[in-house]
Chain A
Amino acid sequence: MKTLIIISWRNIWRNRTRSIIIILALVLGIMGGIFSAAMRLTAEQQQMEDALKNQISHIQIHHPGFVANPEASYSIPRGSELAEELEQMDNIWAVSARTVFDGMAASANMNAGVRIKGVNPDSEAHTTSLDELLEEGTYFTGEGRLPGVIIGRELANDLNCHTGSRMVLTFQDKNNNMVHASFRVEGIYTMTSKDFERRTIFAHREVINSHIDHPDAVTEIAILLNDMEQYRQAAREFQEVWPDLKVRHWAQLAPSRYHNLEILDQVLIWILVIILLAISFGLLNTILMSILERVNELGLLMALGMKRSKVFSMVMLETAMIAIIGGILGLLSSYAMIQILNTSGVRLPGAEGMEEFGYASVLYPDIPVSFYFETAVVVIIFAILAAIYPAWKAIKIPPAQAVRQE
């Protein structure tokens, strides 16, 4: 075996340029694979974190009528008690009972259609970290002559207002009467989704409920689970417990986002496969060339008594060595690349457009250490698979014919 290793090792350095090129291809392939995976994972994580934590949570419960008509009249019966009951459950991290409906926000000279969310400041902060998203202003301090609202940066820009600006919200009360209420912009939040910033206003639920003449109104209960992976099971269980309500998990609440992620996953897997296939064919070509150049020599080895299985192993070993060198260098280069990009960030092309759909414009790619090894193993497996055909060709060389070739 030792001799086989020595011969294989020396063989791969017989044509240095060729070996270095294929090693470089492997390094770049691994870097490409890890980079695309890191970008995908990070984009997914950043988007999911934003979407789930700051916007939709893991599970939401509504009155069935609210799904088609988000109006205050579709309140969850005994919603506050239900929220309290949920808060006591072991698998739940946070619960926010809200009064949600659509309305119109107007500043001195502009207006816009918005979704108004009446929230309990403490439980909302616990559920969506709204208090941490504030770019300016304060978080429901209760100070000032007018009750406060928290609005998104995009809406503030659209309505040309700032903290302290007066804002009139128009909406229907529980009896479908139009209500006009004055508020003061107390804080301005920012988040990844510019669409959410433009459309969503937060106000104190007590204030909102008093305006709609429904002090106990709760039209939406947002739930954050301890273990996000349990979202499907938990939603199913809640639905069984409260069959009269509509329980939906995040993939049902934001299906397009969920499917986008699924598609992105598929696309990136195929990109990875294509990269690896391209490398494998390059490797196959290189090894095949080196086999064809060595027909005489390989035939000699067999003529001298080296078994075909050993010749096969030798060719495989040569490929494995190239793949291992390329794999290790690829891993180290990828690690360095990800560390650098994790600090500097990667600005995505067309970033502004993507933000509208909830994607971050700058990603700070990161990836679990295990993924480096998984990628390297996959690359090495692809490389070894690529070597099978040339190795098979090598052992098919008739020794008698090979040793006669000049």
Chain B
Amino acid sequence: MKTVIKTTRLQKVYNGSVAPVTAVNDVNLEFYEGEFTAIVGPSGSGKTTFLNLIGGLDKPTAGHVHIEGVDISTMKESKLFDFRLRNIGFIFQSYNLIPVLTAKENVSFIMLLQKRPRAQMERRAVEMLEQVGLEDKLNSRPNQLSGGQQQRVAVARALASKPKFVLADEPTANLDTKSAFNLLDIMLRLNKEENITLIFSTHDQRVIDRARRVITLVDGAVSEDKAVSAEKNV
């Protein structure tokens, strides 16, 4: 299988008020194309920091992150912005849509920054919103959508530009059970149909049960990396 992300001795240390805090400690992992991986662990175990590091939102204190062979940990910021834009999709815990844009505009936003042709962009945005079941909400602003609907728009946005992988930071944390299952179904389906690598941090058992690979972090270090049979999840 093709390696999409590889981390080598990845470490992140924050300057805490009392003493330095090691959020990610010597993590060596590989993620493969088309994977549906859950990063699990208790609060403060370093899940989000790890996602930020492999997503290029944060710089490691030590170690490297390679995306398809490109080391992003030493990349200049301006290049990193561009790299992120073209290769990585993000889904955040608190929906994080642009409040002044409609659902369709939100989904188009990344493609717009990528300077895709307008017609292609519009077609893809509508297609993605159809995929997440929001074809009747194309022109709704985020404040006119429920939490579950907003998160579905965020999923559509993350996947619309066909990134190499999508990072989702506790995507179901603020959703009720029905919305969470619905979102997971959509993510799993898109993962299969679009063959997009999905990595999400969670401590939601509903999500963990559906993942094909579960990596457990404790105190910033990998304590378990377990592959789960695909049949169980689908």
Contacts and interface: CB of A to CB of B under 8 A. Distances in A.
B175 interface: no
A18 interface: no
Interface in A265-300: 296-297, 300
Interface in A305-338: 305-308
A107 B110 CA distance: 93
Given A3-B112, A300-B92, A307 B98 contact: no
A231 to B, nearest CB: 59
Contacts of A6: 101, 105
A400 B52 contact: yes
A300 B98 contact: yes
Interface residues of B, number: 28
B57 interface: yes
Interface in B99-151: 99-101, 105, 109-110, 112-114
A406 B98 contact: no
A403 B114 CA distance: 21
Contacts of A306: 81, 85, 113
A305 B85 contact: yes
B100 A7 contact: yes
Contacts of B98: 7, 297, 300-301
A306 to B, nearest CB: 6
B84 interface: yes
Contacts of A302: 81
Residue of B48, B96, B109, B112 ringed by the most chain A CB atoms within 10 A: B96
Contacts of B58: 398, 400
A305 B96 contact: no
Given A296-B96, A400-B57, A304 B101 contact: no
Nearest to B112: A3
A308 B81 contact: yes
B114 to A, nearest CB: 8
A196 B57 CA distance: 78
Nearest to B113: A305
A303 B83 CA distance: 11
B100 A307 contact: no
B57 A307 contact: no
A399 B82 contact: no
B15 interface: no
B78 interface: yes
B94 interface: yes
Contacts of B92: 300, 303, 403
B99 A404 contact: no
Contacts of A3: 105, 109, 112
Contact of B84 (A300, A305, A403, A406): A305
A297 B95 CA distance: 11
A177 B100 CA distance: 93
A305 B82 contact: yes
B48 A404 contact: yes
B96 A307 contact: no
Contacts of B112: 3
Interface string A6-30: 1100110010000000000000000
Given A7-B101, A10-B100, A305-B84, A399 B57 contact: yes
Given A400-B52, A406-B94, A304 B113 contact: yes
A306 B92 CA distance: 16
B90 A304 contact: yes
A321 to B, nearest CB: 13
Interface string A383-402: 00000000000000011100
A302 B114 CA distance: 13
Contacts of B81: 302, 305-308
Interface string B62-96: 00000000000000011001101110001011101
A68 B98 CA distance: 80
A303 B99 contact: no
Nearest to A310: B113
B113 A303 contact: no
Contacts of B110: 304-305
A11 B77 CA distance: 27
A406 B99 CA distance: 14
B85 A297 contact: no
A306 B112 CA distance: 10
B17 to A, nearest CB: 16
B85 A304 contact: yes
In the A-B complex, the 6 residue pairs with the smallest Cβ-Cβ separation, listed nearest first, are: A305-B85, A10-B100, A400-B57, A400-B52, A400-B58, A300-B96
Interface of A: 3, 6-7, 10-11, 14, 296-297, 300-308, 398-400, 403-404, 406
20 contacts: A3-B105, A3-B109, A7-B98, A10-B100, A296-B96, A297-B96, A300-B98, A303-B57, A303-B84, A304-B84, A304-B85, A304-B109, A305-B85, A305-B110, A307-B82, A308-B77, A400-B57, A400-B58, A403-B169, A404-B93
Given A304-B85, A403-B57, 15 more contacts: A3-B109, A7-B101, A10-B100, A10-B101, A297-B98, A300-B96, A300-B98, A303-B84, A305-B81, A305-B84, A305-B85, A306-B113, A398-B58, A399-B57, A403-B90
Interface of B: 48, 52, 55, 57-58, 77-78, 81-82, 84-86, 90, 92-94, 96, 98-101, 105, 109-110, 112-114, 169
